[in-house]
Amino acid sequence: MKHIPRKRFGQHFLCDDGIIDAIVRAIAPVAGEPMVEIGPGLAALTQPLVERLGRLTVVELDRDLAARLRQHGQLQVIESDVLKADFAQIAQALGAPKIRVVGNLPYNISTPILFHLLGYVDWIQDQHFMLQKEVIDRMVAAPATGDYGRLSVMLQWRYAMENVLFVPPESFDPPPRVDSAVVRMVPHAQPAPLSQAVLEELVQTAFSQRRKLLRHTLGRWLEARQFTGQFDTQRRAEEVPVAEYVALAQQCS
């Protein structure tokens, strides 16, 4: 029976063989590697991956799709909301110090998924995700650009990221109303040690009124914390490089 895409799950199924092949080549799976796919759907990417890996773990929320996937002898199916999945536990169950994570992420919850995985970054070797192109533009954005913001800072603190592939709407069924892209995310080997909660609060405050100078937002936040160090608040949030936000969070942690 043909599966009808469900809007509430943000389902758009990849159906372009050329794009699928390009994504698999970007991921470069090696036999025996512990890999987890988020949202395998109709297995368009799953099948070429498992052919190269031998075994693959998949996380699928849709009950009907999970039942289909269980019929595949080389798949371990975790029927779960990815936002509730414990990736440390998954890695331990696979007997792996680190896992590779891939997926065509639902566009309606892609940012929450990225932040959820940030909590398991120590268990992750790399990540390859298909996302809405404008989200990836924000993820990889440089300072002093319109796309640079909270997502850029939080992810660039922990990952080296690269936009590796453009994916047009017609590569999906049904076609989304937006362009897509594939991002490669590799955790930094030695990230700056700090309180993630402090960095999140700091960056959220800084970008809460991005058109105003930081003295109106972050400046007041620093005063409330009785910060006595040096930080130029006569700038807008988008003018501050990731390294400066990280250094400030270290001083405030």
Is position 137 annotated in a ligand binding site? no
Is position 60 annotated in a ligand binding site? yes
Q: For residue 201, give the DSSP letter.
A: H
Q: Angle at which helices 17-27 and 46-53 pack, to 10 degrees?
A: 40
Is position 14 annotated in a ligand binding site? yes
On whether the CB atoms of residues 202 and 248 are closer than 8 A, the answer is yes
Q: How far apart are the first and last CA of the chain?
A: 55
On whether the CB atoms of residues 121 and 173 are closer than 8 A, the answer is no
The CA–CA distances, whole Å, from 233 to 73, 184, 215, 217, 245 equal: 58, 33, 5, 9, 12
Round to whole Å and give the CA distance between 112 and 58: 19
Round to whole Å and give the CA distance between 30 and 45: 15
**CA dihedral of 11, 15, 19, 20, whole degrees rounded to 10:** 90
Q: Is 82 helix (H, G, I), strand (E, B) or coil?
A: helix
Is position 163 annotated in a ligand binding site? no
Mark the binding-site residues for S-adenosyl-L-methionine, compressed into ranges: 12, 14, 39, 60, 81, 104
Mark the binding-site residues, compressed into ranges: 12, 14, 39, 60, 81, 104
